[in-house]
Structure 1
Amino acid sequence: MTNKTDELIKRKITDEDVIAGEALNWDIFSSGGSLLLSKGHVIKSDSQITQLIARGACYYCSPEEVTATKKTSRDPNEPAVSFLIINTLLDHLKNAFAILHEENDPTFINRIMRIALDIQYACDENTDAMVGSIQLNQEAPNFLAHPLHNAILCEAACRRQGKGPLDRLPILVAALTQNIGMLSIQEQVFHQEEALSEEQQTIIDEHPQTGHDLLVSHGVTEKRWLTAVRQHHERIDGSGYPAGISGADLSEDAKLLAITDNYTALIRPRAYRSRILHKDALRQMLQQRGSSIDGDLVTLLINAIGIYSPGSLIVLTSGETGIVTRLTKKLDEPQIRLISDARGHASEIGEETPTGGDTGLTIKNMLCAKENQHLLKGLRTVWPMQHPLARDEM
């Protein structure tokens, strides 16, 4: 490399300079000066970074950039882009709910529509990453995590059906707003161990209609959106509420929302019970299919998120622990990344690898993520993505 001026500093690549899943800030050269990678290229895995370091790869930058890099180098424990996207969407939803009862703010519909479109945009890149990241989110309050989780599951299921983005949009906005009629008590009830008060029970019983009316007051006219919110607690056998309607009188959107809502409620722990594992939630739903919930739509959801959902912690017969990262054509043989050794000690995250078949990696059982937080550190490269939402400032 002979055309660099004395003002530029040659620096060897380190794992602090290059982040898997992010665009390069510089041109990368070999030790002999040949261009290896251009600025803006996205490196997909840590193993590629290791190879660059081993080859003595370098880049050139100004003294000012060296100083800035030292000040802004990323914390190795910072979340992966997919987790940052989830956090951004949660913030957007929180801000939308904050103006729900402000009569003079006309932006509520636009805010909800934007979140739904952003979900679609992120799932265009990696649906499994979005399902897994919201599944692993343990920190967000339930009144935000629950509707976002529902919306992402609806997006995954409707994609599986082959529906186009415009056809998927009404159920996404319905999922995001299905519980706006009980926002005032939702978090309180989620953490409450004692029986519901009479007032709380009334609010819950009426929240589908209350939510519908709130949407109308904000100018929502989309029939599928309104119907799904009003009917999401109805059941095909007539056992639901508020109107006790059944069968063909229920919209397809409402029937799918009933399933995703049920699933999400089961796998998120409450004050009076522990979280139910993914496989056990599916088992409970399979037992209800054809009676209170639609059997075909239960099967659709299972096909969309797998027997071992992205984000699930699994234990192999070898004793090693992995995290499910990607579905395959065989729903019980997902792609995983190993995150612990056979003794249960956290290890550096491994390369994505298949299970089942001739791989020698056989899944034995599942673990609860909340009870194994020590294994979930350093997951920033588990789903390499490059997405503007992760850098969106509220």
Structure 2
Amino acid sequence: MNPHDYPAILGVGPNLRVGERLPCDVYDEEGRLLLRRGQRISSERQLRRLLHGGRVQQGARSQARVPATQGRFAHPGGPAVRRGYPVPEGFSPCERLHACAQALQRTHDRIRAGERDFLPRLRQVAERLRRFIDLDADAALGMAHLSRAYPEQVLHPLRQAIVADVVARASGFSEACRNSLIGAALSADIGMLELRAALDRQATGLSQAQRRALTEHPERSAQLLREAGLDDPDWLRAVMEHHERLDGSGYPHGVRAEAICEVSGLVMLADVYVAMVTPRAHRPARTSKEVLRKLFTEADQRYPARYAQQIVRELGIYPPGTVVGLETGEVALVTRRAGKRTQPWVYLLQRADGRRQLRAVERNLTEEGVEIRRSYRPEDIKVPIPENTAWGYSDMPPSS
């Protein structure tokens, strides 16, 4: 191959060889990660893809961190680089989600103990989670869909906060609104922590006392936040209204249509989406494709049409973290949203003969012309799903 064929990789291309480690992160034309710095080039095919479609950031060849960039070639999280947040060496989506979950669980413990000084801790969780989403939104979405390591009363608010914030950014929400949104998503159910734990294990219908507590929990959550010193009106209102519906069928007050604020409408949609894609003791989970279709068809009746359309557009029918079956008979994990492509990026999990894929293989389905035939619930797949490598990050700690 002629070195002049490789202008996109800014002088790195002619020196690349199969088996060698990349000296920098390489991205495609839309700023999505192709291969991370330090990973080995595994095949001639992968090398050709890097050489002909890869991009690097100016000055990134010797950087241990991804520098802030004003150009179009950014970290796959996109807004992270434009905000000037460097992606730390050794960044681990799995560890980031676990850190948020542990901190939220400790906050819940303080609330259960009757302490009213939990608000600073809750704000710290919100900031930590927002930083995670800014660094890599696709990895945050993927981990939110996949994680089963904590109780649902911890995972549900984290999931709905991630989904809501991804849509909020695309909808042009201000920084202040994003803060209110994430805070509301994390705290909407703090008025029913014990009930939530019981309902997650319960396969029977609700008792009258449980139904009454469920209906009252938005007001109870808002009251706990006020007692803790929260004076953010958007945050409080979203907590109060996250179970309302446009047609007046929601609770606690049957608020209708335009009376429901924008932040509330987005938390509402994220809450419904996350609840439906998560298995419960009394029912299995639905696939993301099924849930997004339902939200879209009920838009303008029960849910705000603007955000229903945006959640479908931003997540795609196969969001990161979705396990899919390909027309080739292979099973793969969706890792990156499709963007302008017709198909998302996937990480191969299982070969067509049913055997586990032992070597990491990332696939550009649009480039290969391969179609997705179905989606699976993660619990239906027995193949281990990698937590970091699927998104291009190492499972090894950073070198000292």
TM-score normalised by length of structure 2: 0.75
Is contact 2:105–2:154 with CA below 8 Å preserved after alignment? yes
- Tell me whether 1:99 sits opposite 2:110 in the alignment: yes
Evaluate the alpha carbon distance shift between residue 333 and residue 170 of structure 1 in structure 2; reply closer, same or farther with a 3 A threshold.
Answer: same
Is contact 2:36–2:393 with CA below 8 Å preserved after alignment? no
Residue in structure 1 matched with residue 392 of structure 2 by the alignment: 384
> Could you report, residue by residue, the CA deviation over 1:146-187 in whole angstroms, capped at 9, with x for unpaired residues?
000000111111111133433311010000000111111102
Evaluate the alpha carbon distance shift between residue 111 and residue 385 of structure 1 in structure 2; reply closer, same or farther with a 3 A threshold.
Answer: farther
Q: CA separation in 2, counterparts of 1:260 and 1:131?
A: 12
Instruction: Give the counterpart letter for 1:303 in structure 2.
Output: R
Residue 255 of structure 1 and its aligned partner are, at CA, apart by: 0.9
Q: 2:378 aligns with which of 363, 369, 386?
A: 369
Q: CA separation in 2, counterparts of 1:45 and 1:380?
A: 14
Evaluate the alpha carbon distance shift between residue 307 and residue 330 of structure 1 in structure 2; reply closer, same or farther with a 3 A threshold.
Answer: farther
Q: CA separation in 1, counterparts of 2:163 and 2:150?
A: 17
Q: CA separation in 1, counterparts of 2:392 and 2:378?
A: 21
Residue in structure 2 matched with residue 325 of structure 1 by the alignment: 335
Instruction: Name the SS of the counterpart of 1:324 in structure 2.
Output: strand
Residue in structure 2 matched with residue 306 of structure 1 by the alignment: 316
Is contact 1:307–1:331 with CA below 8 Å preserved after alignment? no
Q: CA separation in 2, counterparts of 1:251 and 1:164?
A: 15
Instruction: Name the SS of the counterpart of 2:119 in structure 1.
Output: helix
Instruction: Give the counterpart letter for 1:382 in structure 2.
Output: A
Q: CA separation in 2, counterparts of 1:321 and 1:45?
A: 27
Equivalence map 1:330-341=2 (5 Å):
330=340, 332-341=342-351
CA RMSD of aligned residues (A): 2.7
Equivalence map 1:117-132=2 (5 Å):
117-132=127-142
> Could you report, residue by residue, the CA deviation over 1:259-284 in whole angstroms, capped at 9, with x for unpaired residues?
11111110111111111111111122
Is contact 1:135–1:149 with CA below 8 Å preserved after alignment? yes
Is contact 2:335–2:347 with CA below 8 Å preserved after alignment? yes
Instruction: Name the SS of the counterpart of 2:40 in structure 1.
Output: helix
Instruction: Give the counterpart letter for 1:291 in structure 2.
Output: Q
Equivalence map 1:54-65=2 (5 Å):
none
Residue 237 of structure 1 and its aligned partner are, at CA, apart by: 1.1
Q: 1:230 aligns with which of 228, 240, 256?
A: 240
Residue in structure 1 matched with residue 40 of structure 2 by the alignment: 47
Is contact 1:116–1:173 with CA below 8 Å preserved after alignment? yes
Evaluate the alpha carbon distance shift between residue 104 and residue 266 of structure 1 in structure 2; reply closer, same or farther with a 3 A threshold.
Answer: closer
Report percent identity of matched pairs: 26
Residue 47 of structure 1 and its aligned partner are, at CA, apart by: 2.7
Q: 2:249 aligns with which of 233, 239, 242?
A: 239
Which structure 1 residue ranges, 5 or more long, are not aligned? 1-35, 52-78
Equivalence map 1:1-394=2 (5 Å):
44=37, 46-48=39-41, 81-102=92-113, 106=117, 108-330=118-340, 332-356=342-366, 358-372=367-381, 374-385=382-393
Count of aligned residue pairs for this structure pair: 322
Instruction: Name the SS of the counterpart of 1:382 in structure 2.
Output: helix
Residue 206 of structure 1 and its aligned partner are, at CA, apart by: 0.3
Is contact 2:296–2:312 with CA below 8 Å preserved after alignment? no
Instruction: Name the SS of the counterpart of 2:169 in structure 1.
Output: helix
Which of 1 and 2 has higher RCO (CA within 8 Å, sep 6+)? 1
Is contact 1:234–1:242 with CA below 8 Å preserved after alignment? yes
Which structure 2 residue ranges, 5 or more long, are not aligned? 1-21, 25-34, 45-89
Is contact 2:23–2:38 with CA below 8 Å preserved after alignment? no
> Could you report, residue by residue, the CA deviation over 1:70-128 in whole angstroms, capped at 9, with x for unpaired residues?
xxxxxxxxx9921121111100000111111555552x111111111111211221100
Q: Which has the larger radius of gyration?
A: 1
Instruction: Name the SS of the counterpart of 1:336 in structure 2.
Output: strand
Is contact 2:322–2:378 with CA below 8 Å preserved after alignment? yes
